[in-house]
A and B are shown apart, each in its own frame.
Chain A
Amino acid sequence: MSDLAIRNLFIIPTIVFLIVFNIFPLLYSLGYSFTDFRASTNAPANFVGLDNYRTLLSDPFIWRNFTITAKYVIVSVTGQVIVGFGVAMLLNREIPFKGLLTTLLLLPMMLSMAVVGLFWKMLYDPNFGVINYALGLGKFEWLADPDMALYAIAIADIWMWSPFVMLLSLAGLSAVPKHLYEAAAIDRASGLYTFFRITLPLVAPILMIAIIFRTMEAFKTFDLAYILASQPTTEVISIRLYKMAFQEWQTGMSCALAYIVLIMVLAITNIYIKYLNKVKER
């Protein structure tokens, strides 16, 4: 076979796969988002223009879903950065079994979302859950309490994804040259001053990348929230989307909502990337 043939042999299946399963649905659903199509009926799709978008953007319930999602993203990502970066700081020194310890700490991230959801459902259980037992909270209903449920989901997410932030932070921290810390000590900088003036600015770009990834993921969270709780207060935007598409069968409307979500994620990511480039310039 010629080089060209081998190249095509490797590339074409990927391209075909990408077109069939990603590009085609993406464009097709864009088309649907301008119709009143319902996948549950045989009725033909009618073009309705921007009606779906207009309805969605003026629906106070959708905005409530977005608010819940925003709250979830902020709590979850902030928690992951604090825990992940903190653990990375602790690990960034000479300690015995560092490699093993790091690998063990990465375990939560390697589990399936559904499994993590089921684990935490048991951990939170008001009757036999180990969390209430450990904290001495009696029969506190973590997942049934409308105020607490969203935070409970965020905690599970923090547990699962802090290792990701930790891993990237660790890479960033170990890339800070040791002689800069020596120079800072010579310059009589305190530990806190060194952290804010040397460590943090130098790790910022890679930390930023971790934050971008985690924000995008948290914005799209579905599995954890779906498995753990079914409160109105935990209905993040993906759950609303899922219900709209596959329980209410408003296919056209849900395509429009999916596009709104997509545009929002892109917008947030863009803001981050702009900031990342600014940080990197230094």
Chain B
Amino acid sequence: MTQIALHNINKHFGAFHVINNVSLTVEDTEFVVFLGQSGCGKTTTLRAIAGLETIDSGEILIGGKPVQDTRVEERDVAFVFQNFALYPHLTVFENMAFPLRAVRTPKAQVETTVRRVADVLQIGGLLNRRPSALSGGDLQRVAIGRALVRNPKAMLMDEPIGSLDAKLREEMRVELKRLHVEQGSTTIYVTHDQIEAMALADRIVVMHAGVLQQVGAPEDVYANPVNLFVAQFVGSPVMNVADVTLAEDAGGARVTVAGATQGFAFPSALLGQVAATGPANRPLTLGVRPEAVRLTLQPAPGAVATEAHIIEPLGSHDIVDFRIGDATLRARTKAGFVPGPGVPVWVTLDHSRAHLFDTATGQTLGIRL
């Protein structure tokens, strides 16, 4: 049983506050993904948990024991490095045996454990090779194998598949998920790739500028982003955002994109919900994902007229760019739905999947329609 808990940890690199008061509990056997841009503090946080970085203040508990002042060796966690950090002068077998030999495991046991793990990872045939003779995917398997042989309390992975090509990354993603299901070890995984995060995580932790932005199940983070940063970081293509004004109109609400002549009709409940969070006339930002934007080729009631600008055909679907007022928005449509650029289209929004954010703070208003 290994739970990892962070209590108010802080770290500075000089004047740069790289981890800003982070608190988080990772439950036993949970797969948690730290997601954020490079430089957001996710890797530093992971390294701090492993003991490769010291922290300025706060507490790190592994299995209930405070470890922030102990050395790496005593924390008994495995770490998969982004560049794999395999020992170049040792064979695959010796690389995987290293953690066992380092703690004087009997020879026979080293032999059986390494072979068992190598079989799980399908690298049994490579045991006598050196890392320099392996492909990227195999290097990554060896690095994971070296972590798995010792049954560590927790697996920490720092962008382990970040340096692989796209196709291999997809394969390894599935493999990692399968391994986690089989081994069930508590795992913290760092990535900047939100698709990887969505695919792997039990819970996603979105970090920005050293601060935890949102912690939650992937579908929850996707559907209910707490602020504009999370809204725009998670999801591909990115969520549409536009500065809007809110007005009452004919018994309903009207949301007008800055610079537009026509607004989107919303249920009147919107006005009450916005009023409950603060003054309705403050600057607001509308956020709506491309799949919640509906295009029609004929005029529809309450639809805003515009024309298609750029069409990106992605095979299974198209992404259509169009302008409303000062904003460029994107919609996801069936493949080939809009015949070409310049075609007039009418836009409506799925109210239940529209988000409103306070422009000044970037925080969601928590509107539910």
Interface residues of A (CB under 8 A from B): 177, 179-180, 182-190, 193, 197-198, 201-202, 282
Interface of B is mostly: loop
B98's partner among A179, A187, A202 (CB-CB below 8 A) is: A187
State A197–B94 Cα separation when bound (angstroms). Answer: 10
What's the least CB distance linking A279 to chain B, in Å?
9
The answer to whether B130 touches A185 (Cβ under 8 A) is no
- For the complex with contacts A182-B72, A183-B86, A188-B102, 7 further pairs of A-B residues with Cβ separation under 8 Å are A182-B52, A185-B51, A186-B50, A186-B52, A187-B102, A197-B102, A282-B88
The answer to whether A187 touches B89 (Cβ under 8 A) is no
Question: Is residue B83 contacting chain A, with contact meaning CB distance below 8 A?
Answer: yes
Question: Is residue B81 contacting chain A, with contact meaning CB distance below 8 A?
Answer: yes
Q: B51 — which chain A residues lie within 8 A by C-beta?
A: 185
The verdict on A183 contacting B103 (CB below 8 Å), with A188-B73, A189-B98, A282-B130 known, is no
Q: A188 — which chain B residues lie within 8 A by C-beta?
A: 72-73, 76, 99, 102-103, 150
Closest to A189 in B: B102
Question: Is residue B266 contacting chain A, with contact meaning CB distance below 8 A?
Answer: no
What's the least CB distance linking B26 to chain A, in Å?
18
The answer to whether A186 touches B87 (Cβ under 8 A) is no
Interface residues of B (CB under 8 A from A): 50-52, 71-73, 76-79, 81, 83, 85-90, 98-99, 102-103, 130, 146, 150
The answer to whether A202 touches B89 (Cβ under 8 A) is yes
The answer to whether B87 touches A198 (Cβ under 8 A) is yes
Q: A180 — which chain B residues lie within 8 A by C-beta?
A: 85, 87
State A186–B102 Cα separation when bound (angstroms). Answer: 10
A183, A186, A189 — most chain B CB neighbours (10 Å): A186
The answer to whether A186 touches B78 (Cβ under 8 A) is yes
The answer to whether B83 touches A190 (Cβ under 8 A) is no
What's the least CB distance linking B361 to chain A, in Å?
39
5 examples of A-B residue contacts, CB within 8 angstroms = A182-B79, A183-B81, A185-B71, A187-B102, A188-B99
Q: B85 — which chain A residues lie within 8 A by C-beta?
A: 177, 179-180, 182-183
What's the least CB distance linking A278 to chain B, in Å?
12
Closest to B99 in A: A187
What's the least CB distance linking A192 to chain B, in Å?
10
What's the least CB distance linking A17 to chain B, in Å?
43
Closest to A176 in B: B88
The answer to whether A187 touches B146 (Cβ under 8 A) is yes
State A180–B71 Cα separation when bound (angstroms). Answer: 16
What's the least CB distance linking B263 to chain A, in Å?
55
Closest to A179 in B: B85
The answer to whether B52 touches A185 (Cβ under 8 A) is yes
The answer to whether B102 touches A179 (Cβ under 8 A) is no
How many inter-chain contacts with C-beta < 8 Å in the A-B complex? Answer: 61
State A182–B71 Cα separation when bound (angstroms). Answer: 11
State A179–B72 Cα separation when bound (angstroms). Answer: 13
Interface of A is mostly: helix
State A184–B79 Cα separation when bound (angstroms). Answer: 10
What's the least CB distance linking B336 to chain A, in Å?
49
Closest to B51 in A: A185
State A179–B50 Cα separation when bound (angstroms). Answer: 13
What's the least CB distance linking A5 to chain B, in Å?
46
State A123–B68 Cα separation when bound (angstroms). Answer: 52
The answer to whether B89 touches A282 (Cβ under 8 A) is yes
Closest to A181 in B: B85
Q: B78 — which chain A residues lie within 8 A by C-beta?
A: 186
What's the least CB distance linking B158 to chain A, in Å?
10
State A202–B78 Cα separation when bound (angstroms). Answer: 23
What's the least CB distance linking A206 to chain B, in Å?
13
Closest to A282 in B: B89
A180, A185, A187, A198 — most chain B CB neighbours (10 Å): A187
B102's partner among A177, A184, A201, A202 (CB-CB below 8 A) is: A184
Ordered nearest first, which 9 A-B pairs have the shortest CB separation?
A187-B99, A189-B102, A183-B85, A185-B72, A179-B85, A282-B89, A186-B79, A188-B73, A201-B89
The answer to whether B72 touches A186 (Cβ under 8 A) is yes
What's the least CB distance linking B139 to chain A, in Å?
13
The answer to whether A190 touches B102 (Cβ under 8 A) is yes
Q: A197 — which chain B residues lie within 8 A by C-beta?
A: 87, 90, 98, 102
What's the least CB distance linking B80 to chain A, in Å?
9
What's the least CB distance linking B340 to chain A, in Å?
52
State A183–B72 Cα separation when bound (angstroms). Answer: 10
Closest to A201 in B: B89
State A197–B90 Cα separation when bound (angstroms). Answer: 9
What's the least CB distance linking B49 to chain A, in Å?
11
State A197–B71 Cα separation when bound (angstroms). Answer: 20
Q: B130 — which chain A residues lie within 8 A by C-beta?
A: 282
The verdict on A183 contacting B87 (CB below 8 Å), with A188-B73, A188-B76 known, is yes
Closest to A204 in B: B89
The answer to whether B81 touches A179 (Cβ under 8 A) is yes
State A177–B130 Cα separation when bound (angstroms). Answer: 17
State A268–B190 Cα separation when bound (angstroms). Answer: 53
State A89–B73 Cα separation when bound (angstroms). Answer: 21
Q: B98 — which chain A residues lie within 8 A by C-beta?
A: 184, 187, 189, 197
B71, B83, B87, B103 — most chain A CB neighbours (10 Å): B87
State A186–B130 Cα separation when bound (angstroms). Answer: 21
What's the least CB distance linking B103 to chain A, in Å?
6
What's the least CB distance linking B125 to chain A, in Å?
21
Q: A282 — which chain B residues lie within 8 A by C-beta?
A: 88-89, 130
State A198–B88 Cα separation when bound (angstroms). Answer: 9
Q: A190 — which chain B residues lie within 8 A by C-beta?
A: 73, 102
Q: A182 — which chain B residues lie within 8 A by C-beta?
A: 52, 72, 79, 81, 85
State A185–B52 Cα separation when bound (angstroms). Answer: 9
